[in-house]
Amino acid sequence: MSLEQKLGYFFFDKNHLKRALYHPSFDGETELPEPPFDQVAYGVLGRSLLAAVVTEFALRSGCDTIETIAHQGAQILEPQRLQALQEDLCLEFYVKLSPAAKADGQSQDPTVLQETFEALVAAVYLDGGYSSMRRIVKHLLVDPVLGPTEAG
């Protein structure tokens, strides 16, 4: 099963998917379309998008104070849940690392996998818009915590 199948989203512009998967350590074993062609900027955008979507779903589920929103967000973005999701998506097989980083075991590093997931969120947003990205985040992260009806 491909990463796109696991995400439930098929990219119109595969360059967004490729860029989300190129870790900064990747040493250019092949020609890349344009420098810099790595996930760093996508990761920054992805973190912001995740925060926005999680806050939206917390509000839609009835949270109305900063404390309840923060609590709900912490449940949705709980590190062990994110790590399990990254394992389910098999991100360690898709992320592009330098040979040295691979040998170091960075393809299994939770931080590398989280950055890759955040970059994927941004890639979906840039390729298919907010509603596509929102649908994927809802399906992968929100529904397992809030349930499909609570999340809106």
pTM of the model: 0.88
User: Where do the structural domains in the chain lie, given as residue ranges?
Assistant: 3-151
Task: Read off the pLDDT of residues 43-78 as tens digits, 9 standing for 90 and up.
Answer: 999 999 999 999 999 999 999 999 999 999 999 999
Q: Counting every residue, how long is the chain?
A: 152
CB atoms near residue 56 (< 10 Å): 17
User: Among the ranges 25-34, 46-55, 98-107, which has the highest mean pLDDT value?
Assistant: 46-55
Architecture of domain 3-151 in this structure:
Orthogonal Bundle (1.10)
pLDDT score of 150: 58
Say if residue 29's pLDDT is above 90.
no
CB atoms near residue 101 (< 10 Å): 19
